[in-house]
Amino acid sequence: MTAAGAFKFRIDRRSGVATYWQIVQQTKQALRLGLLEPGDKLPTAREVVEATAVNPNTVLKAYRELEREGLVEGRRGLGTFVRASLGTASSLDSPRRAELEEWMDRAHEDGLAREDMTALFDSVLNERFPQENS
């Protein structure tokens, strides 16, 4: 346990999202929100399984994925540590955000409803960056 309080995962079994993927996404979210910063220790597989009752292999799989993406590193006998922080593309003054806002205004003028925009966005996103796992 770190002094700041250990980071905790919230597993939703009914979401239909693979458990290991929830762990990956929540870690990234924590990096974006600044809950985790480089040098911080992730909870051990043991701590995660005791708290969430998920299978230990699932936690290890998630940590391997985060490691593959270069976000964390496992240090033998010490645990898994955050290596990199994640960009803040979602922050208010980012140019990408401004472009997306423009795009949405135009889509709205064309008569697209909220759901149409989400569907369109997801469709292009999945086409360009297919998810390796469901």
Query: Which residues are at the interface with another protein (CB under 8 A)?
Result: 11, 13, 16, 19, 45-46, 49-58, 134
Minimum Å distance from CB 48 to another protein?
9
Of 37 and 50, CB closest to another protein: 50
Question: At a CB cut-off of 8 Å and minimum separation 6, what does 8 contact?
Answer: 43, 51
**Pairwise CA distance, residues 90 & 122, whole Å:** 17
Q: Which is nearer to another protein, 48 or 66 (CB)?
A: 48
C-beta closer to another protein: residue 14 or 68: 14
Rounded least distance, CB 74 to another protein, Å: 15
Indicate the DSSP class of residue 73. Answer: E
Count other C-beta atoms under 10 Å from residue 132's C-beta: 7
Min CB(55)–another protein separation in Å: 5
Please say whether the beta carbons of 85 and 91 come within 8 A.
Answer: no
One-letter amino acid at 53 equals A
Q: Closest separation between CB of residue 27 and another protein, Å? A: 18
The residue type of 117 is: M
